[in-house]
Amino acid sequence: MRIVHVANFYGPSSGGIKTTLHELGRGYLKYGHEFIYVVPGPKYMKEQTPFGLKISLPSFTLPGSGGYQIIRSNKQLVNLLEFLNPDRIEVSDRFTLLKVGRWAKQHKVASLVFSHETLNGLVKKYAPFIPTSVRDKFVNWHNARLATTFDNVIATTNFAAAEFVRIKTSNLRKVALGVDLVGFNPENRNSKLRKELLKGSEFLLVHCGRMSPEKQPERSVQALAELVKAGVNARLVIVGGGPLWNKIRKQSTGLPVDMVGYIASRQKVADYLAAADLAIAPGPLETFCLSALESLASGTPVVASKSSAVGEILNINSIKAAGAVASDDGISFANEIVKLLNKGNLRKVARNQAEQFSWANTIDAMLDIHDAKKPMVTTKRRLKAA
């Protein structure tokens, strides 16, 4: 089966979407399917990768986005799809790629779209002046349109699914994403690196994510400022780049904060996450948050926004929650951080929770949606090896 995935906002420094595409491709290839992913780039290029055939189309950069790119010509895109003749189409962009869904219906190709964002949350954040009734009507209209354009809508959490459940979307499917449980592992914890990062402090906190408004990275710095004020000897390491970099750097002046920028090496990121006592995931609109899951896989509990989906990943209502959630202000985050630090070692709890999320499970669910049966011999070998 030839599966083509089209995604905007993919680039050298993009996080979750790039990881998702690569892991889907790796999984599909394992079961003998062909995977082609079409993404924005500086020009038309074809490149064979370990995750499938990557095709880049000319794109433009969204102003003020910190480098996010969008494919320039939908006409060129659909012409490419005609040439590729896919058996299945996947889309990762609910806003600019509706034409791909319409093309798929016209050509009787099964299609699905990932809802990686909460439209309700985005409208509330960027257009707070819009009355609630008007906002709800717009969100419901757009989501209904999205659901009728594609054969299936994929939500990765109950939080992401909620606005589709509200309008009784019949083709909604929930598929949790996974995490690299080998690359992100408590065994990556290195006492030498931890000592270097601590610089004499007692507790090491890490924020791993894009420096963009919807992620609210300033919340992590606010939390650290409150901790310092309360006499907690903690240091914060911020991993990631983006449009708010300079603002966060100025906000961090005089505080025990190190901003290391975007790190291309997954192993180095894994080492940083494993070295920390806690990870902070302050984004209030996160519909999944792979970096939070990678922290858990590294044995590092997470404090997240209670208005995001991360609480689901942390299993927050359980006796053995792998972290905590806080209201969207620095004081609340600081309070929850202190509570977790006082609980002692939660590394095993964090890792156990991460092990509920494997890419193998994600691939199985996606292949079921595609009605693509896995070869029985491959399945037997995989189970035997496990």
Query: Structural domain boundaries of the chain?
Result: 2-179+357-385, 186-354
Report the number of secondary-structure helices (H) and strands (E) in the chain: 16, 15
The class of domain 186-354 in CATH terms is: alpha beta
Q: Is the pTM of this model over 0.85?
A: yes
**Phi, psi (rounded to 5 degrees) for 218:** -60, -25
Return the CA Rg of the chain: 21
Cα-Cα-Cα-Cα torsion 357, 358, 359, 360, nearest 10 degrees, comes to -130
Q: Is 131 exposed, middle or buried (0-12, 13-18, 19+ CB in 10 A)?
A: exposed
Sign of CA dihedral 347, 349, 352, 356: negative
Task: Give the whole-angstrom CA distance, residue 107 versus residue 84.
Answer: 12
What superfamily does domain 2-179+357-385 belong to in CATH?
Glycogen Phosphorylase B; (3.40.50.2000)
Task: Give the whole-angstrom CA distance, residue 113 versus residue 172.
Answer: 10
Evaluate whether 2-179+357-385 and 186-354 have a shared fold. Answer: yes
The closest alpha carbon to 300, from 339, 348, 239, 334, belongs to 348
Task: Give the whole-angstrom CA distance, residue 85 versus residue 75.
Answer: 15
- Given a cut of 50, the residues of the chain with pLDDT beneath it are 377-386
